[in-house]
Every structure is written in C-alpha cells, then in structure tokens.
Amino acid sequence: MKRLSLGLILTLILISLSGCGDKDINTIKYDFNNQSEFEDAILKIPVNEQALFIKNFELVAYVHGGEKKLQGFTILDIKKESIRVKKYARKENIKYLTSKIAKMKNLNQKRASIHQDHLMMSDPKRGLVYKRSYSVKELEEVLTALINRGEIK
C-alpha cells in the first residue's frame, strides 16, 4: 500500500511538472485570423513581452500581406520572422542611405526627403508632401546609427 501511494505521488508530481500535457507556447500553431485564438496566444506570453509581440505581429502581417497569411504560425515563428525582416530592412536601409548620400554629394544637393514605409526607406513617392527633409550630415548620422546598432531583437 505504501509503495502504491509513493508511486501515485511521484506520478502526480511528474504530471504537474510537465504541465499536464500542455505544449510549449512556441510550438502551438495559431489561427491568428481568429480573434479568440489571437487573444489566447497573447495571454500565454509574459506581460512584459506582449507589447513587443503585438508590434512584431503587425510588422510580419504587413510584410506577408495580412493576418490571414499567418495562419498556422507559432509565436516563435512570429518572433523569428520579425527578426529576419528587421535585419533585412536594416541591411537595405544601409545600402539605400549610402547610395543616397553619395548621390547628394555628387549633385551638391543640400537637402532631400526620405520616404519611410514601416521599416524601409526609399526615395520620396510622387504626389506625397513630406514635412521634413534631411541634410547630408543628418543622413550620415542616421547611417552611422544604423551601422552601429546592436543585435536586432
């Protein structure tokens, strides 16, 4: 009888430590198009990481063409994809700014407007009015900050 009780207690401890069969939140595939599943996913993330996850989710949804395209993604997939997108944008922005600064210097251009769409920088879009223009020095400062920025998270 004592042996049975000890075995039962050990079994219950192991079940509680394993989370009663719950999957790791990073491996659960969600239908992020479903509001209740999205809320369920958010609630499983630590509170201090929820705002960053929502920001990353919006970025990944934008890049992929909408929330519907994220069906079957896991929370970890969203994190990894947002890091990949941010690294790509950083690399492309460094290329763009280097080229833009060289063109401005060659043309002796004092100021230029820059279009920013989410993370990407590009030449101004026709028909849009930009509130701010940048000098070569300001663009060089932005370029230096991009180059010197630490690891993207």
The pLDDT tens digits of the residues spanning 72-111 come to 888 899 999 999 999 999 999 999 999 999 999 999 999 9
Q: Are the C-beta atoms of residues 118 and 110 closer than 8 Å to each other?
A: no
Mean pLDDT of 7-27: 52
Q: Name the DSSP letter for residue 122.
A: E
In whole angstroms, what separates CA 80 from the centre of its chain?
8
What is the predicted pLDDT for the residue at 4? Answer: 45
- b/e map of 51-63 (b: 16 or more CB within 10 Å)? eebeebbebbbeb
Domain boundaries in the chain?
Answer: 23-148
* Alpha-carbon gap, residue 142 to 116, rounded angstroms: 13
pLDDT value, residue 153: 53
Handedness of CA 141, 144, 146, 152 (dihedral sign): negative
When computed from its CA atoms, the radius of gyration of the chain, rounded to whole angstroms, is 24
- Residue 39 confidence (pLDDT): 85
pLDDT at position 38: 81
Q: What is the pLDDT of residues 19-69, one digit of tens each?
A: 444 456 677 787 777 788 888 888 888 889 989 999 999 999 999 998 888
Q: Going by C-beta distance under 8 Å and a sequence separation of 6 or more, which residues neighbour residue 61?
A: 32, 67, 69, 70
Handedness of CA 142, 143, 146, 149 (dihedral sign): negative
122, pLDDT greater than 60: yes
pLDDT at 5 over 80: no
